[in-house]
Amino acid sequence: VFILAIESSCDDTAAAVLRNNKVLSNVVAGQKIHEEYGGVVPELASRAHQQNIVPVVDMALKRANVNKKQLSAIAFTQGPGLMGSLLVGTSFAKSLSLSLNIPLIAVNHMHAHILAHFIDEEGFDKPEFPFLALTISGGHTQIVKVNSFFNMEIIGETTDDAVGEAFDKSAKIMGLPYPGGPLIDKFAKEGNPKKFQFTKPKVDRLNFSFSGLKTQILYFIQRNVLENPNFIEENKADICASIQHTIIEILMEKLKMAVAETGITQIAIGGGVSANSGIRETLKNAEGKYGWKTFIPKFEYTTDNAAMIGIVGYQKYLENRFNDASIVSKARIEF
């Protein structure tokens, strides 16, 4: 089975080709244009997708050494995401499936961040059902009980900002460019995580809140810069390490609660923030510390990519879960 997968939910145009559960090619074209605006501008993202989609798909086919005529089905991201961005991938997938006369498969982007663990990769184990997934990305923060490929329940989620936003907004307050998450990660490596203390939010049950942390960091920076205009420059590594440490503690506290509540000790992380080296290390250590089995995705399957859309497409293909041309993009989507 050859699956062509397309992902265009936000600001990355991505295409991948899979042979069964193996990735043959995984191409991502980022969009530099948003950097100067300090965030994703939906109008510009949509236009860039329109420019990128044909060359990105061509490149994915070429790198996989697969001809369009060999394809078994086309999988695409139906949502959630930015409407103007989703529309480009959806229309492209629809027309290609019509012209090649092969099945069309709609994929939920958040399912894909979780099911990326089922891509066959040497050195990476696949979780067994049921497992818990911590999805941490630019728009979501969820703890999901994954019962099977197509049966998942959200058992906890953020009540305001997502973890990725907490990283990006903190970085912005520090004057770092967008997206700041990877930069905080980079500077944190040299810093002392206990240097500055931030209070953790009190949120009920398995839910999260990150907007208070952002405000706290804003006031903390403002207060210190008033006393010392070079405060950020002089303490950059320690500030980043302390912010990252606080975020990881918030996540771990809720994960521990989720394990206690469900009795499930297999934990898989997914989403762009699971690229974070501090989070990866903390979860790895949790295996020895708490007796969990943790699943950390290969780096290229953490931030937005089409391989993860392809693996869900493959699983749906096996069960004949196809869509017809009446399928529409959805900015928000039922889980």
| For ligand ATP, the closer CB: 115 or 275 | 275
The C-alpha angle with vertex 123 and arms to 118 and 128, in degrees rounded to 5, equals 40
Interface mask toward ligand ATP for 301-330; x: CB under 6 A: --xx--------------------------
| For ligand ATP, the closer CB: 271 or 313 | 271
Among 304, 316, 317, 323, interactor with Fe ion by CB under 5 A:
304
Binding-site size for ligand ATP (CB under 6 A) equals 24
Q: Which of residues 255-274 bind ligand ATP (CB under 6 A)?
A: 271-273
For residue 297, state whether it binds ligand ATP (rule: CB under 6 A). no
By a kind-dependent CB cut-off of 5 to 8 A, residue 282 interacts, out of ligand ATP, Fe ion, none, with none
Q: Is 168 annotated as a binding residue?
A: yes
User: What six digits make up the tokens of 157?
Assistant: 């989620």
What DSSP string describes 55-87?
A: HHHHHHHHHHT--GGG--EEEEEEESS-HHHHH
CA distance 13 to 31: 8
* Least Å from the CB of residue 7 to ligand ATP: 9
Q: Is 91 annotated as a binding residue?
A: no
Among 81, 84, 89, 313, interactor with ligand ATP by CB under 6 A:
81
Q: Is 161 annotated as a binding residue?
A: no
Q: Is 109 annotated as a binding residue?
A: yes
Q: Which of residues 104-133 bind ligand ATP (CB under 6 A)?
A: 109, 113
Q: Is 276 annotated as a binding residue?
A: yes
Q: List, as own/partner pairs, every contact residues 176-185 make where C-beta atoms lie below 8 angstroms and the sequence separation is at least 24, other chains included.
A: 177/35, 177/38, 178/34, 178/35, 178/37, 178/38, 178/39, 179/138, 181/272, 181/273, 181/275, 181/276, 182/275, 183/240, 184/240, 184/243, 184/244, 185/240, 185/244, 185/275, 185/276, 185/277, 185/278
For residue 137, state whether it binds Fe ion (rule: CB under 5 A). yes
Torsion of CA 165, 168, 174, 177, to 10 degrees: -150
Is the alpha carbon torsion for 301, 276, 143, 266 positive or negative? positive
Bridge partners (DSSP) of residue 106 are 76
Tokens 């066959």, located at residue: 120
Q: Is 58 annotated as a binding residue?
A: no
For residue 137, state whether it binds ligand ATP (rule: CB under 6 A). yes
Residues in contact with 57: Cβ distance below 8 Å, sequence separation at least 6, in sequence order: 4, 6, 15, 92
For residue 167, state whether it binds ligand ATP (rule: CB under 6 A). yes
Q: Is 238 annotated as a binding residue?
A: no
Among 2, 11, 179, 3, CA closest to 89: 11
Torsion of CA 83, 89, 90, 91, to 10 degrees: 110
Single out the segment in contact with Fe ion by CB under 5 A; choices: 71-79, 133-141, 193-201, 213-221. 133-141
Strands 151-157 and 266-270 turn out to be unpaired
Q: Please identify the residue of the shown chain whose CB is closest to the bound ligand ATP.
A: 272
| For Fe ion, the closer CB: 244 or 274 | 274
* Least Å from the CB of residue 282 to ligand ATP: 12
| For Fe ion, the closer CB: 161 or 304 | 304
Q: Is 185 annotated as a binding residue?
A: yes
Q: Is 136 annotated as a binding residue?
A: yes
User: What six digits make up the tokens of 47?
Assistant: 């236009």
For residue 191, state whether it binds ligand ATP (rule: CB under 6 A). no
For residue 172, state whether it binds ligand ATP (rule: CB under 6 A). no
Q: Which residues are annotated as a binding site for Fe cation?
A: 109, 113, 304
Positions touching ligand ATP (CB under 6 A) are 9-10, 80-81, 109, 113, 137-140, 164, 167-168, 179, 181-182, 185, 271-273, 275-276, 303-304
Binding residues for Fe ion (CB under 5 A): 137, 304
